[in-house]
Amino acid sequence: MRISWSRLGRASLVLVPLGFLTVFYAYPVLSILLTGLVRDGSPDLSPFRAVLTSAPLLGVVWFTLWQAVVSTLLTMIAAMPVAYVFARYRFAGKRLLSALLTVPFVMPTVVVATAFLALLGSSSPFGINLNRTIWIILAAHVFYNVAVVVRTVGGLWSHLDPRMEAAARSLGATRWQAFRTVTLPLLRPALAAAAAIVFLFTFTSFGVILILGGLTYATLEVEIYRQTVVFLNLPVAAALAIVQLAGVSVILWLYGRYQRRREVELSLMPAESVAQRPSTWRQRLVVGSVAAYIGVVAVLPLGILVARSFDTGGSGPFTFYRTLTDGSGSTAFVSPLEAIGNSLWIAGLATIIALVVGMAAAAVVAYRTGRASRSFDLLLMLPLGTSAVTIGFGMLVALDWPIDLRAHVILIPLAHALVAIPFVVRLSVPVMRAVRPQLRESAAVLGASPARIWREIDLPIAARALGVSAGFAFAISLGEFGATSFIARPDTPTLPIAIFRLLGRPGTLNFGQALALSTILMALTAAVILLVDRLRLGDVGEF
Amino acid sequence: MPARTPLGKARTRLAALAGALALFVSACSTSGPDTLTLLAHSSFAISQSTLDAFTEETGVTVEIIDGGDAGAMLAQAILTKDNPIADVIFGVDNTFLSRGVAEEITIPYVAPALGDLHPFTRLDPTNRFTPIDYGDVCLQYVNDGSLDPSTLFQDPDGSRLVVIDPSTDSPGLAFLLATIAAFPETWQEYWADLRDEGVLVVPGWEEAYYGEFAGASDGDRTVVVSYGSSPAAEVVFAAEPIDEPATGIVEESCFRQVEFAGILAGTDSREAAERFVDFMLTPRFQEDIPLNMFVFPALIGAELPRVFTDHATVADQPLTVEPAVIAENRDRWIDEWTAIVLR
């Protein structure tokens, strides 16, 4: 009896994520691609020829690729010192800084663009005008994604035993040698995971490119949007989407190969005992400069937005906030404040879906070896690298049977979960893999049932990953704009949608309210991340 | 053997879960016989009290689906025309009209009030789309005395101007059409000159107005492609009450946009849909349009709010291009424009 339970449990570990992805990702995407590429019942491949023989479109493909590679490299370089300091030191305000660093990740592009133009545009206080250059695009990509690397890599780093490096040092290695030969190899799985995620994000970048890059620069994502929405040229849009998917698949395959060769079993330590207070001047300097660096990279652009939301030109600093509630200038029928409520319940639901599906998938990936499990792992990442336009319009074409979900509010959390699941998996797998199989074997020898082993050994460990994943999933949903804006939705605006609507109308009050809502979104995100980080600390003690 | 094996138990649980999900989903979708679904673009807005009046009159509740911008919304309607997601569509404009007509997403309907609308709004002889409102896309400038509005359209200075990409946002397309209507032979040179003088191109109205226009941002561009009603909005949505807007409109640059509603083919609430289109043409709805959407009512004689008569511009002789001509040439014009200005 117990055996059939555990078999069923194991089967559902595979079936839940597989079913979810089939219904809400593969089926919609295939539907829209076939709508574009099947004419009168027979496949029509001429759009591919159109794409591959058009110099502008090939230019788009090339630009998409190289800007993603450069953005990923720059993000990794920018994030490593921060990840190091967060992993190795304890200091006042660390959690706040870490939360602030994560806030950009969820800010809507329209709003971030305003801040970037204020800092690096024609009226820059530093006298640097990068407007409509590749540099402002790269800077924005780093700004957005630094948190992904800090959290993924820092998460693992903070549990690595510092004595390993100390041992290398005592054997005569320099600081750099010790890092390169001891720590770096151990960090590689997390580094590769972070790089893969950042690459997928920048490869499919839409808003940043469109707004900051002007029109000289276009990614595949921007071109798919133009072909679908402006020209209604579904065949070419489908061909471009397939080129995009192919590019993403190649990267994921490379990542998969790399990851396979780098699997190491780690002995992890509680983060508490790894991190120490900076004691020497040198250490204080390192911590201080990283804090200052975060101030410039993350807090300054955000601070400008906050400051402007209070800058009403003399009618009292809270005008924009007050008018959010009294309905003056409220967009459409929904008060901007209602958008906060919508955002919260949608993010809550999206988090639950992403955790259920993502943790099941992570368990499969972490505990099963073999080709199937590895392909499954990569398959899970695919939605991140798929055009939001393709997914949004695909859902519209496909999801009308057996229940018509096309214009159903449930589609919003489902779409958000689709974006969040890869994060849940990436954050959880390394932690789950780190459980030594001997622990489980000894428990089995001592007579524990598989269910009990799972409950008493795997679950407490998974719970740690759960906390981080939940925070990220929630934050992703709070800030998600792309997919949300491409699905037909009943009038339940989330915060980013409400901000976008306010920005769509002239008048200082509308602009100010948009900034006020952005500030609320920032505060909300920071609060969620702080809360989750606090919860997580409780769990580490069990380790 | 116990009657309920763990497998059976799990099955029961699964079934219960599926049932609960189905229940939740059906509880959330309120579309019943007394509900009418309106697919509209993101800029659609009207007072809740106006919609309530329709419900009181007919017993029909209106659900709104936000379809994104006008282009995305129309694409959604076309992709779902065999099984529409709504009963009525609102927000197809004259630049997209021909696409909507050609795809036959809506059914012909002659609203009784059609004869009471401004004749220039009646652009669809097939009556698949009913005009609801109109407005002008115009050049807007900082009115501080330094610019001479009479030269701004005829002989513009590209270094002062920020325009919008016609392939990503509808005011951008409207202004391109304005230049084509005004300079049918020389519009390519017009744009080549603007490019040489350093005209700034941005993807959307938001980025132009709040990002680059000196009249509303830190930007240094003193002329922007915007709406004839923008100065009125500036007064209505001022953080500090103001009497006069600080910007003006170049009237001769104005391109007329008309927005339409239509009854989606395949609706199962045709009668309610017709009543709603009729309702959209009543004075109550029409007079509620200006302060919600900052466009003008299509109904002749609909009263305008004071701030509109004072500060909103509607050109006497707007620039226009026939919808059929737009449909035929749109993609080519956009490609040509892109080649001239961006490459």
Residues 6+ apart with CB under 8 A from A172: none
Whole-angstrom distance, CA of residue B146 vs CA of residue B23: 65
Residue among B7, B24, B48 minimizing CB distance to A333 = B48
Does residue B157 carry a pLDDT above 80? Answer: yes
Q: Which residues in chain A are closer than 8 Å to B22, comparing Cβ atoms?
A: 403
Q: Which residue has the tokens 């620069």?
A: A217
Helix, strand, or coil (residue A278): coil
Write the DSSP assignment of B137-193 as a string of letters: EEEEEE-SSSS-HHHHTTS--GGGEEEE-TTT-HHHHHHHHHHHHH-TTTHHHHHHH
Helix (H) or strand (E) holding B255: strand B247-264
Q: What's residue B272's pLDDT?
A: 95
In the structure encoding, which two tokens stand for residue B278, read together? Answer: 């009729």
Residues B199-257: tens digit of each pLDDT: 988 888 888 888 789 888 778 899 999 999 988 888 888 877 888 888 999 999 999 99
- Please identify among residues 143-202 of chain B the ones whose CB lies closer than 8 Å to any CB of chain A: 165, 167-168, 201-202
DSSP for B43-93, please give it: T----HHHHHHHHHHHS-EEEEEE--SHHHHHHHHHHTTTS-S-SEEEEEE
Rounded distance, CA B210 to CA A508, Å? 9
Tokens 């002659």 belong to residue? B110
Structure tokens belonging to residue A474: 């929630």
Q: What is the pLDDT of residue A1?
A: 44
Which tops the pLDDT comparison, A435 or B135?
B135
Residues A123, B219: C-beta atoms closer than 8 Å: yes
Average pLDDT of B146-151? 88
Q: What is the CA radius of gyration of chain A?
A: 24
Count Cβ atoms below 10 Å from residue B116 Cβ, excluding itself: 15
Are A505 and A113 in contact by the 8 Å Cβ rule? The answer is no
Contact residues, chain B, for A403 at CB < 8 Å: 22, 25-26
The SS3 assignment for B200 reads strand
Within 8 A of A504 by CB-CB distance, chain B residues are 42-43, 205-206
3-state secondary structure A48-65: HHHHHCCHHHHHHHHHHH
Per-residue model confidence (pLDDT) at position B26: 47
Q: Tokens in use for A22?
A: 């089939």
Q: Enter the ipTM.
A: 0.80
For B64, list phi and psi in degrees, rounded to 5: -110, 135
B76–chain A nearest CA distance, Å: 7
pLDDT in tens, A123-166: 677 777 777 778 888 988 998 899 889 888 887 788 788 888 88
Whether A138 and A67 have beta carbons less than 8 Å apart is answered as yes
The whole-angstrom separation of Cα A515 and Cα A355 is: 31
B237/A329 Cβ within 8 A: yes
Please list every residue in chain B whose beta carbon sits closer than 8 Å to the beta carbon of residue A214.
201-203
Query: What integer is the mean pLDDT of B154-183?
Result: 92
Q: What is the DSSP secondary-structure string of A18-85?
A: HHHHIIIIIHHHHHHHHHHHEETTEE--HHHHHHHT-HHHHHHHHHHHHHHHHHHHHHHHHHHHHHHH
Q: Which chain B residue's Cα is nearest to A409?
A: B28
Query: Which chain B residue shows the shortest CA-CA distance from A310?
Result: B239
Give phi and psi for B186, each to the nearest 5.
-120, 15
Q: What is the DSSP letter of A121?
A: S
Write the single-letter amino acid at A216. Answer: T
| pTM of the predicted structure, to 2 decimals | 0.83
What distances in angstroms separate CA A301 from CA A116, A144, A312, B217, one per listed residue? Answer: 6, 11, 19, 16
Give the chain A residue nearest B140 (alpha carbons): A506
The pLDDT value recorded for residue B152 is 92
B18 touches chain A (CB under 8 A): no
Q: Of how many residues is chain A composed?
A: 543
Give the whole-angstrom CA distance, residue B175 versus residue B201: 12
Instruction: State chain B's mean pLDDT as an integer.
Output: 87
Count Cα neighbours of B240 within 13 Å in the Cβ-side half-sphere. Answer: 10
For chain A, residues with pLDDT lower than 50 are 1-2, 329-331, 537-543
pLDDT tens, position by position, B266-318? 899 999 999 999 999 999 999 999 988 889 999 999 999 998 888 888 899 99
